[in-house]
Amino acid sequence: MSQLATETGALNLSQGFPGFDCDPALTALVDEHMRAGRNQYAPMTGVPVLRERLAQKTMAQYGVSYNPETEVTVVSGATEAIFAAVTAIVQQGDEVIVLEPAYDSYVPAIELNGGIPVYVTLTPPNYAVDWSAVEAAVTERTQLIMVNTPHNPTGYCWTRDDLNQLARLVQDRDIWLISDEVYEHILFDGRTHQSLMTHPVLRERTFIIGSFGKTFHITGWKIGYCLAPVPMTAAFRKIHQYVTFSTATPMQYALADYLSEPSHYQQLSAFYQRKRDLFLAGITNSRFRFIPAQGSFFQCVSYDAITTEPDYNLAVRLTKEIGVASIPVSVFYHQQNDYHILRFCFAKTDDVIQEAAERLSKL
């Protein structure tokens, strides 16, 4: 859809990346470290100062301790971390529970490792986790459950009750967890991020995956990290070592410096809440229906009052006819469930958000 947006010159609210640049102070730090000659391979596990800052930030934010030497690894984006974690755990015939709609790299990573995805469906308008359905999906062969909070594409944010339900389900079983928390700093309306690491039962069996791309508006740098208990980190690093070996050195030093100022990520929820509200105010008198996103930088809207056409067709038509690109949510389901929902990314400049909302309101 991004490609179609480029071809047609449409406002691109489809793919999930910011339509504005990062803080120039961050690029200045990269420049500084490049000029200081930090341009050779970083250690396989990440530069020590960045791992230490990540451990400090995690302690300050969630009150949970990770050893920077043995439990923190810097990788080339969350997508690499997801692949490495899945590969470390999944073997031929293992079942992996996937809550869908789901980010598109989970299932290929599972299948490439011979795993079998077992789907649990989340449905609009709330997309809350149906715990009886998750429980029903667990079998003797369940090896792993994939978690994503705040959730792409729906914006759903896990509650404390979700963590408790998951803990109850896994505590007497040999089930591992991957928790994709790349939107950990983007939650709205006073919500706090419920990281799986904050539940002792979950911390011991979870790969927590984060990404600087979403937090600092640098998706093109592809730098992420994985926090996990010692034996899990050891297994994870065996994969990471032979996928990318290590991650861009000057960027790691720059991020370590930049992380020492917590306001750089603490203001992100307010920053994106204002953009979400700008978009919602713009479409409030339209025929689209929505529940405000709880987190992430995506807003799902229902178009049932406008047309009965399939979501994919409508997304293409809106891109071509009114010049607003979105993503049809059916693409995040393995059987393309179509609930007539489009996902709009509001990580865009205010003028793009307002113009897009204005065009959508005319439908």
Ligand X SMILES: Cc1ncc(COP(=O)(O)O)c(C=O)c1O
Is residue 328 a contact residue for ligand X (CB under 6 A)? no
- Nearest approach, Cβ of residue 224 and ligand X (Å): 4
Residue pair 177/207 in contact by the 8 Å Cβ criterion: yes
With b for 16 or more beta-carbon neighbours within 10 A and e for fewer, the 219-257 pattern comes to bebbbbbbbbbeebbebbbebbeeebebbbbbbbbbbbb
> Per CB under 6 A, does 224 bind ligand X?
yes
Based on CB atoms, which residue is closest to ligand X, 175 or 345? 345
Among 66, 83, 103, 272, binds ligand X (CB under 6 A): 103
Looking at the Cβ atoms of 78 and 248, the one nearer to ligand X is: 78
- The residue at minimum Cβ distance from ligand X is 77
Cβ-contact 336, 108 below 8 angstroms:
no
Taking CB under 6 A as the criterion, the residue among 18, 46, 68, 77 binding ligand X is 77
Q: Which residue has the tokens 């299948």?
A: 111
Phi and psi at 323, nearest 5°, equal 70, 40
C-beta separation of 71 from 118 below 8 A: no
294: contact with ligand X by CB under 6 A: no
Task: Decide whether 176 or 332 has the Cβ nearer to ligand X.
Answer: 332
Which of 182/300 has CB closer to ligand X? 182
Q: Which amino acid is at 294?
A: Q
Closer to ligand X by CB, 74 or 314: give it: 74
Q: Is residue 302 part of the contact set for ligand X (CB under 6 A)? A: no
Instruction: State phi, psi for 39 to the nearest 5 degrees.
Output: -125, 10
Residues in 146-165 that interact with ligand X by CB under 6 A: 148, 152
Minimum CB separation of residue 16 from ligand X in Å reads: 4
HSE-up of residue 256 (Cα within 13 Å, Cβ side): 19
Q: Is 180 in the site for ligand X (CB under 6 A)?
A: yes
- Coil, helix or strand for 119? strand
Which residue, 94, 92, 90, is CA-closest to 140? Answer: 94
Binder to ligand X among 219, 246, 302, 330 (CB under 6 A)?
219
In the bound complex, what is the minimum distance in angstroms from residue 306's beta carbon to ligand X?
A: 27
User: DSSP for 149-167?
Assistant: SSPTTT-----HHHHHHHH
Residue 215 binds ligand X (CB under 6 A): no
For residue 363, the minimal CB distance to ligand X (Å) is 27
16 binds ligand X (CB under 6 A): yes
Q: Give the footprint of ligand X on this chain (CB under 6 A).
A: 16, 77-79, 103, 148, 152, 180, 182, 211, 213, 219, 222, 224
